[in-house]
Amino acid sequence: MSVPKEGSKAPDFKVKDNSGKEVSLKDYAGKNRVILYFYPKDDTPGCTEQACMYRDDLQRLTALGVEIVGVSVDDRQSHQAFAKKHSLPFPLLADAKGELARRYGSLHDLGLIRIARRNTFLIDPQGQVAKVYLSANTSRNSQEVIDDLKQLTAR
């Protein structure tokens, strides 16, 4: 599937997170914006940097009315260990079959190996894709989102 375009309806999902809780995009409807960020693999250098940047910027992001949700094709146990090791306070969705990543045009399927592409989606409270960050930069993605959120809230 192709990457959802800005202004389009964000594909819904219902996936278990690292704590075993089922998370749906509808859980956030009408409340907050959602940063849905896809990343290749738990506990690898770039993925750790990106997750920790979101963790470190959490206060600024929540002040802007945002919830953070990470997604990779790793399983729940891998997510649990990753979240614990790096004190990640936001859900990591276990998309082991790659179905969610596929719906967001973010699955890199090499046959025997599947990983999520490093794409980030900013979704508004009405479930529309407000901004798309393809091949997000691990060290700048969180700040880019903050800068864009400031512009969106200023309007």
Length of the chain equals: 155
pLDDT digits (tens, 9 = 90+) for 46-76: 999 999 999 999 999 999 999 999 999 999 9
Residue 9 located in a structural domain: no
Q: Which of 34, 47, 69, 122 is catalytic?
A: 47
Domains in the chain, number: 1
Contact 86, 55 (CB under 8 A): yes
What letter would DSSP give residue 138?
T
Residue 140 located in a structural domain: yes
Residue partners of 16: CB distance under 8 A and separation at least 6:
22, 23, 76, 93, 94
Domain of residue 29, CATH code: 3.40.30.10
Residue 1 located in a structural domain: no
pLDDT digits (tens, 9 = 90+) for 117-150: 999 999 999 999 999 999 999 999 999 999 999 9
**Residue 47 annotated to the active site:** yes
Residue 54 located in a structural domain: yes
- How far, in Å, CA of 57 to CA of 144, rounded? 11
- How far, in Å, CA of 58 to CA of 21, rounded? 21
Residue 6 located in a structural domain: no
Structural domain containing residue 35: 14-154
